[in-house]
Amino acid sequence: MAALIALLVTVTVLAQQATEPKNWTAAEDHQNMMAQLGIRKLRSGPSGNETAPNHANYDEATANPFPNLPEVLTLKNGRKVTSAEMWRNQRRPEIVEDFDREVFGRVPQNVPKVTWTVTQTVQGMVGSYSVVGKQLVGHVDNASFPAINVDIQMTLVTPADAKAAVPVMMMFGGGGNLAQLTAGATPAGRGAPAPGADPPATQQLIADGWGYASINPGSIQADNGAGLTKGIIGLVNKGQPRKPDDWGALRAWAWGASRGLDYLETDKAVDSKRVGIEGVSRYGKAALAAMAYDTRFAVVLVGSSGEGGAKLHRRNWGEAVENLTGSGEYHWMAGNFMKYGAEEAVFGSKNAGDIPVDAHELIALCAPRPTFISYGVPEKGDARWLDHQGSFMAAIAAGPVFRLLGAKDLGRSDNYKTEKMPAVNVSLLDGQLAWRQHDGGHTDGPNWKFFIPWADKFLGHTRLAK
C-alpha cells in the first residue's frame, strides 16, 4: 500500500509539473543557466555609480581593449564579399546564425500562431487632427500549454482624413491608450515634452500623414529572469527553463513586433510596405533587433540603445558585457551569451573579444533600409553609461555594407578606430544610415522632427492631401 501511495504521489507531482510553469526567481533561473553552461563564476559588471570602487571606465585611453572588430564583409572561409548577392546569400546568413546562437537566441520553429482581433474602434483627436484608433489583441494559440496565456496588446492610430493607406511607425511602449484620443488629451508620445517644446512624436507623425502603432513588450515577454518560464518563451517551452541557445526577451519582443506587422499587413488603412519600428533604451535594442531580423520593416529609429543595441560589445566604456550576463539583465539575451562573462568555467574563461559578432554587424543587417541611430547627452540624463562614441564607431563600421547594397552611409571614412562622433545637434542625415545626437536626455523626442522628413525622403512619402 505504501508503495502504491508513493507511486500516486509521484504521478501527481509529474502531472503538476507538466501543467504548471516552473516558478523560479531570476537568481534561480540564472544559476540554472550557469550550470547548463558549466560556468562556476561570472565576472561582475561595472557599476553605473561613478563614485563606486568598481565604477565603469570612462577613459578613452583604455576603452578599446579589443580594437579589431570582426570583418563584416569577409566570409568565415576568408573570402571577401564583393556583391549584394554574396551578402544576401552567404554573409548575411552567417551573421544571423552567430547572433541566433550566441547573442539573442533562436526563435523556435514551433512558435504557435497569433490571431489578431480588433476589440475597440474609436474616433478621436491627436492634437488638432482627427484620427481613428483601434485597440488590438494578438492571442497566441496556447492549446499546447493552456497554463500560459499570451495576449499581445497593440493600438493603431491613423489619420481620419487619409485618402489612401498611410505609412506607420510602430513604437515599443505601453500598448496605447485609446481613452486619450477621446478625452481631448494629447498622447504623451516619447519623452513627454515640456511646454514650448516640440509636439509629441505621435502628433508629429499624424500631422505628416503617418499613422502610429504602440505595442506593449510586457504583454509579449516579461522584462525579468523570473518571467522566462512564462510569456511567449515559457509558452513554447511549456513552462520549463530555457536551453542555452533559446531566445531571450529582446528577441521575443522583436518577434512580437513582427507579429504586429503581420496584422498591419492586413489593415487597409496601412501602407504595409512602409512600416517602421522604434524604441528607446532597452526597447531601442529591441527595435534594432526587429529591424535587423525582419526585412519587412522599412525604417528604424534606434533611441539610446547602448550595450546590447548599437554599442560595441568590445568597448570598455560604461555598461559592459558583464552587466548583460548578470542576473539583472541576462534574460534579454540567449543563455549562451553568459559564456562571455565567464571567469571560471569548464571551457576556461571568455570575454567580449570572443563574441563572434558585434553591434556593427547588427546595424549592417538593417542595410540598405533607412536606419537612424539616436542619442541624447549625459548632461540631460542620456548617461555616459550608454557609450555614444562606441555606438558611432559601430555605425561607421557598418557603412561598407550600406554602400555595397547601393545605399549611402554616414559620409565618413571607414576607420572606426579614429572617427569621432560629430558635435551635439550636428546631423548626419544624408544617407540611409543616419546619426544624430540631440541635446536632450534619455529619449528620442528631440530627434523626431529630424527623423520624420528624413524617413519621408527615403521612403518616398509626401503628406497626403485632405
Q: 105: closest CA among 324, 299, 301, 252?
A: 252
Query: How many angstroms separate the CA atoms of 114 and 137, rounded?
Result: 9
φ, ψ (nearest 5 deg) of residue 158: -130, 155
* Grid cell at residue 51: 563614485
Report how far Cα 121 is from the mean position of its chain's Cα atoms: 28
pTM over the 0.85 mark = yes
Query: How many angstroms separate the CA atoms of 243 and 321, rounded?
Result: 20
pLDDT tens-digit series, residues 324-368: 999 999 999 999 999 999 999 999 999 999 999 999 999 999 999
- Residue 175: per-residue pLDDT: 78
Cα–Cα distances in angstroms (integers) from residue 327 to residues 29, 48, 177, 350, in the given order: 9, 16, 32, 18
Ranges of residues in the chain whose predicted pLDDT is under 70: 1-18, 184-195, 464-466
- Residue 1: per-residue pLDDT: 56
CB 444 within 8 A of CB 304: yes
Query: How many angstroms separate the CA atoms of 42 and 439, rounded?
Result: 37
Query: How many angstroms separate the CA atoms of 202 and 171, rounded?
Result: 10
- Helices 282-293 and 249-264, axial angle in degrees (round to 10): 60
